[in-house]
Amino acid sequence: MRLRAVRTVEYDDRGLEVFSFCGHCGLPPKPAAQATKSRVCGHCGLGLVLRAASDVAPALDEPFLVVDATLSVCAVSARAEALLGIDETAAVNKHVADFLVPADANAPSAANLLALLVEVASGAGEARTAVVRPRQEFGVRYRARVGACGPPHAALLVLAS
Amino acid sequence: MLNVSPNTLRAWERRFGYPKPQRSAGRHRLYTHGEVSALRDALQQGLSISSAVSRAREALSADTHTLVGALAAFECDRADAAMESALALRSVERSVEEVLLPSLDELAARQGTDSAPWAFAARWADGWLRRAQRLAPPPVRPLAILVGDATRNELDPDSLGIRAFELFIVRAGARAMTLPVAGVSGLGEVVESLSPDAVVIAGSHLADDDVARWAYSVRSASGALAVALFRRVQHDRQIRTTGARVLPDEPFAAHRQLLALVDERGGSEYEHATVLAMPALEEIERREVGW
């Protein structure tokens, strides 16, 4: 007997539920993909399935970027591509500051966002929020949730207007 | 290996340009084991397909760096080993086009084609390509190609491309013979013996007059033949004349196009072929019998 409504729920060490989502389209993986152990998204085929705790995992309509501990962009979701006007294939391996910079007037320094990303990508920090803007644009600001995702360890930066 | 559908692989090819398959005679995609396994390893550790593709590309380009390094250090053994390792992941054709020729191009750009390091590298590459041709299987197609070599000498930058072109023709099961365009005496005997289905004039060093004289000798001995040009610089003027087909500069694409054309037309003349400017040849044709 198969119970379609039942799914395995995982929790991280803080007791928060862990969600899986595609790094490109943001959709949760198909059950068939879990059976084949493939990390490639069964919906769009253009992203790998990532995992993040519920306090940072993106909702379906939220654009996001994935950044590693060297602050290189590793993934850009389809919605983030449209929002920021960048192409993931061109953005990958470039510094995150080429696309997003801190825009919080109250932040002590610009280095704080980068330090937060490094800390989170190293698996040490907790989910936090920051205010960012596209590098070449003024007057547009996004509240961003920054938290850990993976595998492997990386920082997830979810943009919300 | 990758646990993805053919549709997904095609989508990756469109979006990322990787993996880049060759095509079979029936237009099926042929993926190399090396590319797919490099991608599989990168996917296991990656955060996105883009970053995995980038890592897989880096892994494959390591062979080129190794070959350039070996040739720059004048180490034949290490250069041979680099090609061996390229062959472990790719076909001979792709090893030549993706590793050997780009490495030589890099050395030519870095050292100049009149330098001693280039001479060493070009001689090594020429020897490697000739060795690969000797190891090719015997001809299985009733097809022979005569290549007229219009390059300066073996150090001419086009020379290696022509060697690769000849190698690919031989590996495709046809017979190929390369003769210098500068030598015309006794050419009739060679042509009668080979009975070529097509003639390719390759290289741009020699003038149109020399090429036309050689081509006329070939035509006198063999009758009307299909003519194609490979890595021969086109002139500014476009005159409707010999109907010679201009082949792409890449040896693999060029050999595929040539064999397809000869197969398609059964070795007959190219009546509707691309127009090419060769005023000297046109002049000779006007004086003598037309092609």
Q: What is the pLDDT of residues B44-70, one digit of tens each?
A: 888 899 888 888 888 777 777 889 988
pTM of the model: 0.59
Residue that the structure tokens 């930066």 belong to:
A157
The reported pLDDT for the residue numbered B249 is 92
Residues B286 and B276: their CA atoms lie apart, in Å, by 16
Chain A positions in Cβ-Cβ contact with residue B46 (cut-off 8 Å): 48, 74
pLDDT for residue B267 is more than 70: no
Structure tokens at B176: 């190929």
Note whether B155 and B282 are same-domain residues. yes
* End residue of a domain, out of B67, B100, B133: B133
Summary count for chain A: helices (H), strands (E): 4, 9
The pLDDT of residue A32 is 65
How many structural domains does chain A have? Answer: 1
- Mean pLDDT across B161-175: 94
Q: Region B27-43: what's the mean pLDDT?
A: 82
Counting as low any pLDDT under 50, the low residues of chain A are: none
- Which of A34, A39, A71 is the best substitution to test chain B (most B C-beta atoms within 10 A)? A39
Q: Are residues B57 and B150 in the same domain?
A: no
* Residues 6 or more apart whose Cβ sits within 8 Å of residue B134: none
- Calculate Rg over the CA atoms of chain A: 16
Of A50, A89, A152, the CB nearest to B15: A89
pLDDT of B240 above 70: no
Q: What is the ipTM of this complex?
A: 0.79
Do B128 and B250 belong together in one domain? Answer: no
Q: Determine, yes or no, domain membership for A5.
A: no
Q: Which amino acid is at B272?
A: H
B149 and B276 in a common domain: yes
Query: Is the CB of B61 inside 8 Å of chain A's CB atoms?
Result: no
Residue B1 is assigned to a structural domain of this protein? no
Q: What is the mean pLDDT of residues B276-289?
A: 44
For residue range B183-204, list pLDDT tens digits in order: 778 888 888 888 899 999 999 8
pLDDT tier at B268, thresholds 50, 70, 90: very low
Residues B77 and B93 in one domain: yes
CATH (domain of A104) = 3.30.450.20
B127 & B148 share domain:
no
Sequence-separated contacts (24+) of B217-225 with Cβ below 8 Å? B217/B184, B217/B187, B217/B188, B218/B146, B218/B148, B218/B187, B218/B191, B219/B291, B220/B188, B221/B187, B221/B188, B221/B191, B221/B192, B222/B191, B222/B192, B222/B195, B222/B196, B224/B269, B224/B291, B225/B196, B225/B197, B225/B198, B225/B199, B225/B269
Decide if B54 touches A, using CB distance below 8 A.
yes
